[in-house]
Amino acid sequence: MRAVWNWVLGNYPELMHLALYAVNERFGDFKLTWASCLDMEEGSRVIAPAWRPGGVRSVRVT
């Protein structure tokens, strides 16, 4: 059993790429991607009315 785990850990990057490729082949491009490839967009900073039914709707957090 230890030999199997050593093989998996030794081949982890390759196995991750194969899994990522298999999911994207089946479900379409960029369904799974590395976090470093995502654009870090700033949110709208608006709290949904369902959570704050009264008062201020847009809050600027610094």
* CA–CA dist 47, 41 (Å, integer): 17
Closest CA to 44 of 55, 31, 29, 60: 60
Asked if 9 contacts 16 with a C-beta cutoff of 8 angstroms, the reply is no
What percent of the chain clears pLDDT 70, i.e. is strictly above it? 61
Kindly report the average pLDDT of the chain as a whole number: 76
Per-residue pLDDT, 23: 92
The two tokens of residue 38 are: 């995502």
| Residue 22, helix vs strand vs coil | helix
Q: Average pLDDT in the 36-62 region?
A: 65
pTM above 0.95, yes or no: no
Per-residue pLDDT, 26: 93
CA dihedral 26, 29, 35, 7 (to 10 degrees): 40
| Residue 58, helix vs strand vs coil | strand
